[in-house]
């Protein structure tokens, strides 16, 4: 059996994860907004995508990774993960997932709308049943997918009651965030948890050298005992050789003898609030490149140099919104 990476606590949740986990947004459906995603998939049929996903998961497991994150809107990601776990017999993998978006692309990449957001209690009940039908008792944590203040999900007493009931059953409950107001959302969720109005114990947020603005809120979450999962650590491919990263960032990676993606993930791993950084690799080669982040020990000056190129959050998220689904 492959030896796992050193486990680390996911906050005070009682779960333990590895420093790097696998996010399946680019693996469970043929369309995603990672730069060059279409070139990464040799066979877009469901069977071909399943085989491709399993190959990435196999390499991740062999490298010691023991955390896989999915979502209802990631096409067949939960199905692929469940099938892989059944086929391989792995019982030591922490599986987390999310609810709140419904996949509507019909296994196509040439549609205008790929997923529809709905944070109502009815959607929570439907999607939780769908997740459990696939993952059963393997579901360790369930998160609101991209919670925002505007959606009202954090103030919906019916949703919060249903999430509390889920937490009472032993499933860790959390939320993920997106957009320039991530920090505000995390602070609001922390306030709700502190007064007993919500059962949140984890947060999954976008954080990378181009968009580190949620950092103070994530540190508050970590200080409160929450598990903090960092997603989009390579900025949907912008912090790779396919992207538009600033030349000084590329030079910094070159001086360290590593790839830009590994540098970006290592900077995220160096943050004191980080429990786990999710690799969104779409291929075995990308995964292996991402895992080189574990070999880097960055000093404070290097981390500061990487973060010197942070963008205005509004500009960052505007650029992200314009990335094509391929």
Question: Do 81 and 91 contact (CB within 8 A), yes or no?
Answer: no
Residue in the structure block whose two tokens are 């960052």: 316
**List of the chain residues with pLDDT < 50:** 1
pLDDT at 3 (0 to 100): 66
> Domains in the chain, ordered, with CATH?
9-289 (3.20.20.100)
Ramachandran bin of 143, using left for φ above 0, alpha for ψ from -120 to 50, beta for the remaining angles: beta
Q: 91-123: per-residue pLDDT in tens?
A: 999 999 999 999 999 999 999 999 999 999 999
d(CA 121, CA 156): 8
Q: What are phi and psi of 230, to 5 degrees?
A: -95, 125
pLDDT at 1 (0 to 100): 42
pLDDT at 212 (0 to 100): 98
Question: Do 82 and 3 contact (CB within 8 A), yes or no?
Answer: no
pLDDT at 2 (0 to 100): 56
Selection from 87, 196, 94 nearest residue 141 by Cα: 94
What's the whole-model pTM score? 0.97
């Amino acid at each position: 059996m492959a030896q796992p990476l050193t486990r680390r606590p996911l906050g005070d949740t009682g779960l333990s994860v590895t420093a790097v986990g696998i996010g399946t947004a680019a693996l469970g459906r043929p369309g995603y907004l990672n730069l060059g995603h279409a070139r990464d998939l040799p066979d877009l049929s469901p069977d071909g995508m399943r085989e491709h996903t399993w190959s990435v998961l196999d390499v991740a497991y062999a490298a010691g990774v023991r955390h896989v994150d999915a979502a209802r809107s990631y096409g067949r990601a939960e199905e692929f993960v469940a099938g892989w776990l059944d086929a391989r017999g792995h019982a030591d993998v922490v599986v987390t997932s999310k609810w709140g978006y419904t996949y509507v692309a019909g296994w196509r990449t040439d549609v205008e709308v790929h997923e529809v957001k709905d944070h109502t209690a009815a959607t929570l009940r439907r999607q939780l049943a769908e997740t459990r039908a696939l993952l059963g008792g393997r579901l360790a944590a369930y998160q609101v997918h991209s919670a925002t203040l505007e959606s009202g999900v954090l103030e919906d007493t019916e949703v919060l009651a249903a999430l509390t009931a889920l937490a009472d059953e032993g499933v860790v409950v959390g939320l993920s965030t997106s957009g320039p107001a991530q920090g505000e959302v995390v602070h609001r969720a922390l306030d709700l948890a502190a007064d007993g109005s919500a059962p949140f114990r984890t947060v999954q947020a976008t954080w990378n050298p181009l968009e580190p603005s949620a950092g103070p809120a994530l540190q508050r979450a970590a200080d409160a005992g929450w598990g903090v999962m960092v997603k989009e650590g390579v900025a949907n491919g912008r912090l790779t050789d396919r992207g538009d990263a600033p030349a000084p960032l590329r030079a910094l990676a070159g001086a360290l003898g590593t790839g830009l993606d590994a540098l970006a993930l290592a900077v995220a791993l160096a943050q004191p609030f980080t429990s786990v950084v999710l690799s969104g690799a779409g291929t075995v080669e990308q995964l292996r490149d991402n895992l080189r982040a574990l070999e880097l020990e960055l000093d404070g000056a290097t981390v500061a140099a990487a973060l010197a190129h942070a963008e205005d959050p509004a500009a960052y998220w505007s650029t992200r919104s314009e990335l094509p689904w391929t």
